[in-house]
């Protein structure tokens, strides 16, 4: 098994790849790598050339996902797969997504350099179109590989900057939207021994704890309501006494305050839960400084690793809406909602990661993932999955992402140690 000091050349390769990606997708004040666009295409080509240099087998599937394979001695065995996405949000940071593919390439380089035989194939997957910022549909590349994209998505989802459909962009890049429409799978999940994803942490937990590496316990599921509405009655701001008002703003404020109290209840019980009202506003065509607002619209995003908590929160919010509506003379309608299931990381892989972290002297802690990741698609498709987080200051999806290469090196060494073990099973 490798020692913690064995990966210096692979870390140097990784740093060079990060620099190349940044230079070629610079879009001040950050980087932009549009899904099924020039920046993502460039990043896939950089990965392809690196994998070819390492002696890998390289191919793409009908959705444009890139597979870079270092063969094992027994190709009948299910492969170890490492992967993440290579697109980036507009004017975002350089590490979100790319760190996972770069770490995978570093792991392939380390396996080649070691010269030791390995039983299983090791496949690094460069995944397409993970970021919702370009196309408002989740996990496009990984779901396409699994045959999970609803056919209508291809023709109804359009890219934010072009107004053109997902199908047209996929075809323009030289791939086959009709295979996605037909629900083809790029590979059999039974042929994947496990899926590993390294990613920057997108919150401040590791930074605040002064711990460089996180072992992800699970990826939070979510309930999202995009069309919440409080309907009251427009009236004169000076003429209506408080008890006679049907104030939509105060109704919305009471509801949002109750949502925070619900969050505090879960927090005090040690339950995993976060909630966000991301959009909130009155109707600009009708509101004025001298009117009591009669209409407020807002969104809700609730997330938890625990599906039972999401069910409980949804039931309690419905009761809260009914109560506030009655008390304030308004109508609170939460509208339609979407539900994404939580994804639990494999307990056995997590134990192996903890074992290797202790053996190598890498400080780690268990953390949930608040953001969604392609790893969730693999885990919910029955593939054993694990995620490693790298400490990252200033959050993500912004140009101030700040991942230290030394922290990345520790996370990559941890993944390398696990892969060394997995390819021998």
Domain harbouring 274, CATH code: 3.30.70.360
**Domain CATH number, residue 352:** 3.40.630.10
The predicted structure's pLDDT at residue 425: 84
Record the pTM.
Answer: 0.92
Same domain, 59 and 194: yes
Same domain, 179 and 262: no
Q: At what angle do helices 405-422 and 347-360 cross, to 10 degrees?
A: 120
Tell me whether residue 96 is in a domain. yes
Q: Residue 422 belongs to what H/E stretch?
A: helix 405-422
Query: What Cα–Cα distance (Å) separates residue 102 from each residue in 51, 184, 235, 369, 406?
Result: 10, 28, 59, 20, 14
CA distance 239 to 241: 7
As beta bridge partners, residue 236 has 291
Integer distance in angstroms from the first to the last C-alpha of the chain? Answer: 14
CA distance 127 to 320: 41
Task: Report yes or no: 306 and 271 within 8 Å, Cβ to Cβ.
Answer: yes
Same domain, 288 and 317: yes
355 lies in which domain range?
A: 8-219+342-422
Tell me whether residue 358 is in a domain. yes
The predicted structure's pLDDT at residue 1: 46
Which of 318, 340, 362 is the last residue in one of the domains?
Answer: 340
Same domain, 251 and 347: no
Which of 286, 319, 340 is the last residue in one of the domains?
Answer: 340
Residue spans of alpha helices (H) in 280-391:
307-328, 347-360, 374-379
Same domain, 225 and 277: yes
Tell me whether residue 81 is in a domain. yes
Tell me whether residue 1 is in a domain. no
How does pLDDT run along the chain (425 residues), one tens digit per residue? 445 457 899 999 999 999 999 999 999 999 999 999 999 999 999 999 999 999 999 999 999 999 999 999 999 999 999 999 999 999 999 999 999 999 999 999 999 999 889 999 999 999 999 999 999 999 999 999 999 999 999 999 999 999 999 999 999 999 999 999 999 999 999 999 999 999 999 999 999 999 999 999 999 999 999 999 999 999 999 999 999 999 999 999 999 999 999 999 999 999 999 999 999 999 999 999 999 999 999 999 999 999 999 999 999 999 999 999 999 999 999 999 999 999 999 999 999 999 999 999 999 999 999 999 999 999 999 999 999 999 999 999 999 999 999 999 999 999 999 999 999 98
Please give the structure tokens belonging to residue 417. Answer: 């140690």
Kindly report the three-state secondary structure assignment for every residue of 85-141.
Answer: ECCEEEEECCCCCHHHHHHHHHHHHHHHHHCCCCCCCEEEEEECCCCCCCCCCCCHH
Which of 340, 363, 395 is the last residue in one of the domains?
Answer: 340
Same domain, 307 and 364: no
The residue among 248, 225, 249, 255 whose CA lies nearest residue 335 is: 225
Tell me whether residue 3 is in a domain. no
- What secondary structure letter does DSSP report for 230? E
Q: What is the dihedral of CA 196, 385, 343, 400, to 10 degrees?
A: -10
Residue spans of alpha helices (H) in 25-37:
none
Same domain, 159 and 194: yes
Number of structural domains the chain divides into: 2
């Amino acid at each position: 098994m490798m020692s913690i000091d064995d990966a210096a050349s692979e870390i140097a390769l990784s740093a060079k790849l990060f620099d190349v990606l940044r230079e070629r997708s610079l879009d001040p004040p950050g980087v932009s790598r549009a899904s099924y666009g020039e920046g993502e295409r460039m990043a896939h080509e950089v990965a392809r050339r690196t994998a070819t240099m390492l002696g890998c087998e390289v191919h793409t599937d009908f959705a444009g996902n890139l597979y870079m394979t270092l063969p094992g001695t027994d190709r009948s065995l299910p492969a170890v797969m490492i992967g993440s996405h290579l697109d980036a949000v507009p004017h975002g940071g350089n590490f979100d997504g790319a760190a996972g593919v770069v770490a995978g390439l570093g792991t392939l380089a380390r396996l080649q350099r070691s010269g030791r035989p390995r039983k299983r194939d090791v496949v690094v997957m460069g995944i397409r179109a993970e970021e919702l910022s370009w196309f408002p549909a989740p996990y496009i590349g990984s779901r396409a590989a699994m045959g999970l994209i609803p056919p209508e998505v291809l023709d109804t989802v359009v890219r934010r900057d072009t107004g053109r459909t997902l199908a047209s962009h996929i075809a323009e890049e030289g791939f086959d939207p009709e295979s996605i429409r037909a629900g083809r799978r790029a590979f059999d999940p039974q042929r994947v021994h496990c899926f590993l994803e390294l990613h920057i942490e997108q919150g401040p937990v590791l930074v605040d704890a002064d711990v460089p590496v996180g072992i992800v316990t699970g990826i939070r599921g979510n309930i999202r309501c995009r069309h919440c509405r409080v309907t009251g009655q427009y009236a004169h701001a000076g003429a209506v006494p408080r008890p006679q008002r049907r104030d939509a703003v105060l109704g919305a404020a009471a509801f949002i305050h109750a949502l925070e109290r619900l969050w505090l209840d879960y927090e005090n019980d040690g339950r995993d839960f976060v909630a966000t009202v991301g959009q909130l506003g009155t109707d600009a065509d009708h509101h004025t400084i001298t009117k009591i607002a009669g209409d407020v619209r807002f969104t809700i995003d609730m997330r938890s690793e625990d599906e039972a908590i999401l069910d409980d929160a949804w039931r309690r919010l419905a009761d809260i809406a009914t109560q506030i509506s009655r008390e304030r003379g308004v109508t609170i309608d939460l509208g339609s909602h979407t539900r994404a299931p939580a994804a639990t990381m494999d307990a056995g892989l997590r134990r192996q990661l903890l074992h290797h972290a202790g053996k190598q002297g890498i400080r780690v802690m268990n953390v949930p993932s608040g953001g969604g990741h392609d790893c969730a698609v693999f885990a919910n498709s029955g593939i054993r999955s694990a995620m490693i987080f790298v400490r990252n200051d200033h959050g993500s999806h912004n140009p101030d992402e700040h991942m230290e290469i030394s922290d990345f090196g520790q996370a990559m060494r941890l993944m390398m140690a696990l892969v060394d073990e997995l390819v021998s099973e």
